Chains A and B, each alone.
Chain A
């Protein structure tokens, strides 16, 4: 009984995780600039992987696999933001962003030269 419930819950998690992964892929393709793409590459993708891992854990139900799954989840949570930050920073520094899509840019207003006042 419990095994059946766990199997069905696991299946639901697998499908939901796969859908989020698909949405993240569509976002990476469709978003207009690389900074927006990094949003798609972090949030839905991380939750999608976590749901996939939860689904796998619910279906496998063994301690050895559980350890590996927890490890994958921890490293996914720790590394995805770092990767997105590195790519976003590189995109910003090399000017690969669409300024027409930005409402404000306080990083440019920081005044790297010192004399220039930032203008919107």
Chain B
């Protein structure tokens, strides 16, 4: 779309990029403000003009006094993939809960565990945070530590019986990341997920 224009005119491209960045930041702030106002209304239990006004006031105070680093959201929402992710997540949450509940009440069960590192393929902060949140709630895994430079999550795996299960846990984590990227990732991230550039030789 912008192919012929940004051939030699880099200044124009930079200017429009910075304008888009500023617009994006304003958009993020507006979304955050709307969310905070909605939370305020829900906490009061009814949506009214007075609650909306005070919610906007409190929300802007929160945004001014507790500023957070900007989250770069370059992707877009895909409803179908989001639905796939949500239903798989719900199913896995149920099976994980039943699994942990079963070994909790099983007499004489002393579950063994392991700590593994899983390198994610999409290295944005947002993807790492979402994957780490989701991975804690699905079968067998719990995030212990994350390395932001190499985008590696260190997971504790519960109830292991051998190296095959560690490989399975690693694959489950990467599949979860793929579902998240399919739901909210950008096109470039999607390409990265679907055909990874180089298979690194990480021997198990």
Binding site for B on A (CB under 8 A): 20, 23-24, 26-27, 30-33, 35-36, 38-40, 42-44, 46-48, 64-65, 67-68, 70-71, 77-78, 80-82, 84-85, 88-89, 92, 101-108, 110
Contacts and interface: CB of A to CB of B under 8 A. Distances in A.
Give the interface size bracket for B toward A. Answer: 35 or more
Interface string B116-153: 11000000000000001100110010111101000000
Contacts of B99: 43
B97 interface: yes
A39 B166 CA distance: 16
Interface string B95-126: 01111110111000011111111000000000
A64 B45 contact: yes
B99 to A, nearest CB: 8
A66 to B, nearest CB: 9
A65 B42 CA distance: 9
B110 A32 contact: yes
Contact of A44 (B104, B117, B132, B154): B104
A88 B116 contact: no
A27 B156 contact: no
B158 interface: yes
A43 B117 contact: no
Contacts of B42: 67-68, 70-71
Interface in B9-52: 39, 41-43, 45-46
B165 to A, nearest CB: 9
Contact of B142 (A32, A42, A64): A42
B94 interface: yes
Contact of B111 (A24, A31, A67, A84): A31
Contacts of B114: 102-105
Contacts of A64: 45-46
B145 to A, nearest CB: 6
B137 A42 contact: yes
Contacts of A101: 110-113
Contact of A110 (B101, B117, B137): B117
Interface string B45-89: 110000000000000000000000000000000000000000000
